[in-house]
Amino acid sequence: MINQTTSCLAPQGVRFQPNTIYCGDCKNVLRHFPEYSIDLIYLDPPFFSNKTYEIIWNDGYELRSFEDRWKGGIYNYVAWMEERLTECHRVLKENGSIFLHCDWYAGHYLKVMMDKLFGYNRFINEIVWCYETAGKGKKHFARKHDTVFWYSKGKEYTFNVKDVSIPRKRNKHMRMGVDENDREYEEKTDAKTGKVYRWYFDEGRIPFDYWTDIEFINREAKERMGYPTQKPEALLDRIIKASSNPTDIILDPFCGCGTAIVVAQKLGRRWVGIDVSPTACKLMRNRMEKLTGKKVSTINIEKSAEELKLLHPFEFQNWVFDALHGRVNPRRTGDLGIDGWVEMGVPTQVKQYEHVGRVEVDKLETAIERFYGKTSGTKGVLIGFSFTNDAFEEVARAKSKKDMEINLLTVQDILNVT
């Protein structure tokens, strides 16, 4: 997975640099960042929802299954999260803040863990983001909100209240006035104390800790990137404006399609995006380059063959076709046995295991004949971690009997040339 804008480094070679996308597990990437280097962290990690989402990215060529499944139950999930949040705590500046986005599945477990990690006295807000779209309930009240826990690392932290204030609505039960500077205000006198309170319209009001004015992204929204759990830019705009200043560094360790870093860029902040998915990193790089008109640095934590075996099958397919400068078959079903195409449109099958044999070669032969509409003078590629002797024998037979050229390519072959 090499391209002109990508640097491939072994984990020990990771270096911290703002305005960079890192492809790898944030736990491993952040270990190589210096302490107290980040001003604000927003993370929208995989939820403990036990759902699987299958999507095709908006370029139509990359297929990904985004799994949110946790073997071992909730405690395994919380332990997994704690390892990564520990690194987030380490790199956060003393006056920095962290916003953890979660939902009803695991929010209460994560709250206890965050109290332990940051200190219960560093808890600032439980923000409830309410929306009307997405999901219905027949056996329960419709679940229409997410939770964002806001913690500071130290006693002091940034809160730019004027930058996130909401225009104040006129209240017919309150007195209106204009001061000597022609500023409009509304005024109320406390009946018990006689104290006069004045609110200026040009200052607005502080948002409540339940946000009902930011809607879920609809299907037609221009900012939609095809990511199943994508959050609206307006949500990140409020968080980043409130808790950071220009030139501060914003970190999203589960960056997905890159909404947090896009908003950070628009607001004049520096940023760092991390995601374990090569597909997501490619998407966010393209999104940032379209926004800035400049090349964006991407640092990939180079994977071994053994690590590639552990990728989700669709992520593995995307890695293969990206490394070979090919493209994934966009059809999720009825693909006629073709996973994608390489080398000027040569049909290709991808197998994510060792000892690929004659049976798999036979199936590829059938797919090739169906693709070309003929039985001779055709080509195909079969990719696996290793091949049996009878696989090579079948390739030779296909060449001799059908003039069909099948190339058996191992994952190590791909690693060697990239």
Do both 244 and 373 map to the same domain? no
Per-residue pLDDT, 4: 31
Distance CA 252, CA 235 (A): 14
The distance from CA 235 to its chain's CA centroid, rounded to whole angstroms, is 15
CATH number at residue 382: 3.40.1350
**pLDDT confidence tier of residue 418, bands split at 50, 70 and 90:** low
**pLDDT confidence tier of residue 230, bands split at 50, 70 and 90:** confident
Task: Provide the Cα torsion 277, 282, 287, 289; round to 10°.
Answer: 140
Asked whether residue 88 carries a pLDDT value surpassing 90, the answer given is: yes
Do both 32 and 129 map to the same domain? yes
Q: Is 277 domain-assigned?
A: yes
How much is the mean pLDDT over the chain? Answer: 87
Cβ count within 10 A of residue 162: 11
Per-residue pLDDT, 322: 83
**pLDDT confidence tier of residue 2, bands split at 50, 70 and 90:** very low
Q: Is 99 domain-assigned?
A: yes
pTM confidence score:
0.77
- Say how many domains are in the chain: 3
**pLDDT confidence tier of residue 9, bands split at 50, 70 and 90:** very low
Per-residue pLDDT, 183: 84
Do both 249 and 395 map to the same domain? no
**pLDDT confidence tier of residue 5, bands split at 50, 70 and 90:** very low
Asked whether residue 368 carries a pLDDT value surpassing 60, the answer given is: yes
Q: Is 109 domain-assigned?
A: yes
Least confident of 13-27, 53-67, 103-117, 317-331: 53-67
Do both 130 and 256 map to the same domain? yes
Mean pLDDT confidence for 261-290: 93
Asked whether residue 217 carries a pLDDT value surpassing 90, the answer given is: no
- Per-residue model confidence as pLDDT tens digits over 89-133: 999 999 999 999 998 889 999 999 999 999 999 999 999 999 887
Do both 192 and 295 map to the same domain? no
Do both 70 and 97 map to the same domain? yes
**Domain of residue 196, residue span:** 167-205
Token pair for 83:
């390892």
Least confident of 9-18, 98-107, 396-405: 9-18
CATH number at residue 95: 3.40.50.150
Q: Is 162 domain-assigned?
A: no
Do both 43 and 98 map to the same domain? yes
**pLDDT confidence tier of residue 56, bands split at 50, 70 and 90:** low
Do both 366 and 390 map to the same domain? yes
- Per-residue model confidence as pLDDT tens digits over 143-172: 889 999 999 999 999 999 999 998 877 777
| Strand order, beta sheet including 184-189 | 175-178, 184-189, 196-200
Do both 12 and 127 map to the same domain? yes
